[in-house]
Copies of this chain bind each other. A is one copy, B any other.
Amino acid sequence: LSAGTLGDVANLMGELSPGDIAHLISSSPPPFRHVLWQLLEPEQEADVLNELPDELRNVFLEEMQPEALADIVGKLDDDDVADILQELPDALTNQVLEVMDEQDRARIETVLGYSDDVAGGLMSTDTITVRADMKLEVVLRYLRRHAVLPENTDAVIVVNRKDQYVGLLPVRTLLVSDPGVSVREMMDTTRDPIPAMLPATEVARRFERNDWISAPVIDDDGALLGRITIDDIVDVIREEADHSLTSLARIGEEDTFSTVLHTAPRRAIWLGINLLTAFIASSVINLFQGTIEKVVALAVLMPIVASMGGIAGTQSLTVLVRGMAMGHINKRNEGWLIGREAMVGVLNGVLWASVVAVAASLWFDDWTLGFVIAAALIINLITAGVTGAVLPLILQRLSIDPALAGGVVLTTVTDVVGFLSFLGLATLFYM
């Protein structure tokens, strides 16, 4: 990037939306990211920062002064501010809070009191509330006194004298109703509010199932604390789906353009864990050195049994982990699922065992070998199906993330069972 093009890029960025600029920055390798950040107009910084992925945002934030930070957070919704402050070192967070005005600070502290994986941490305290006994024309006049309404205001919230949630008055209703009637007659009281401690994933499910744009958040006494809007829920859905993918692939949380020194250690841990389990599988093979020395074809064919078990197990595990993430799996249906996976294992085991038996027998001109590998394959595919289904259920009960730990334990089981059944049966028949 020469000096001339830098100016062009700066002009271009002036015309893009904050989301597009954030996307441009996250699609650039690290060295260019700082250049792009420097080119931003100061008034764009707050919104762009808000759209950046967490890790990347922290890189820029840690380089800023508390005053500049306070200035930036002053322009954002409080749920977004809380999100940013939660990720910063405590000392810096306190410095930023000190330079904010009192009202802002009080609001931010309410949201900061909740972790960002429950409803309270996702909410904004910026709400418009009315009373049930107001006439709609009064509501309309009251709204008109605002310079701007909070973003995604699809409904005003109806509260009682104690500030407890009573119902919602959708803007769509407000716009088409007779101004002379009262809020009470037009409000929707069937919408359950969201308790502040409800997990974020459950909040996302309620939004998805009911096609909500925003929803009120209450505390244990029913008092209104704030509201959650769909833009933050879209992020929760994206992160939740991403979590299953990255966990099952053992990459952990990683940005597409993380540097080598950031990426290598995180992945090294998973490779190390895999190395341990691979040594366990090797020690199983080691038990059968004598058999392998006599029938070398066993060494040629044994990876087939292990690999087929690994794939079948991963299929089964992924269906369960995904079903769990979507909230489909519960005590009433888990027995049915385990049975289904076992049956799929039996059918696909018998199918591919027949093929492998014939192929192996012809290749090495040895029908005993064909029988042994077929039996081992059936045993391993059934084991894989059942383990892939039972394992995540057990891990969840032990409060271990099934997506993260599942794959490692599963391949250990399918490798060990695969080698043990294949080489064990071979020892019975050949020795």
Contacts and interface: CB of A to CB of B under 8 A. Distances in A.
A310 to B, nearest CB: 8
A268 B347 CA distance: 9
A154 B211 CA distance: 14
Contact of A271 (B210, B259, B285, B348): B348
Contact of A322 (B246, B281, B356): B246
A210 B19 contact: yes
8 contacts: A153-B172, A213-B230, A250-B314, A257-B333, A268-B348, A268-B352, A303-B306, A307-B415
A175 B144 contact: yes
Interface string A283-307: 1011001001100111111111011
A307 B329 contact: no
A151 B210 CA distance: 12
A11 interface: no
Contacts of A159: none
Nearest to A326: B256
B275 A308 contact: yes
Q: Is the interface of A mostly helix, strand, loop or mixed?
A: helix
A74 to B, nearest CB: 19
Contacts of A68: none
B238 A208 contact: yes
A383 interface: no
Nearest to A214: B213
Nearest to A293: B296
Interface residues of A, number: 114
Interface stretch (A21-29, A37-45, A113-121): A21-29
B154 A152 contact: yes
Contacts of A19: 208-211
A3 interface: no
Copies of this polypeptide in the complex: 2
B260 A340 contact: yes
B312 A267 contact: yes
Interface of A: 17, 19-20, 22-23, 26-29, 51, 140, 143-144, 146-149, 151-154, 171-172, 175-177, 205, 207-211, 213, 230-231, 233-234, 237-238, 241-242, 244-246, 248-251, 254, 256-257, 259-260, 263-264, 267-268, 270-272, 274-275, 278-279, 281-283, 285-286, 289, 292-293, 296-304, 306-308, 311-312, 314-315, 317-319, 322-323, 326-330, 333, 336-337, 340, 343-344, 347-348, 351-352, 355-356, 359, 381, 411, 415
Given A23-B328, A274-B308, 7 more contacts: A208-B238, A249-B318, A256-B323, A271-B348, A282-B303, A289-B297, A299-B302
Contact of A285 (B299, B306, B326, B359): B299
B352 A271 contact: yes
Given A172-B148, A311-B250, A336-B29, A209 B328 contact: no
Contacts of A231: 211
Given A17-B210, A282-B301, A312-B271, A242 B242 contact: no
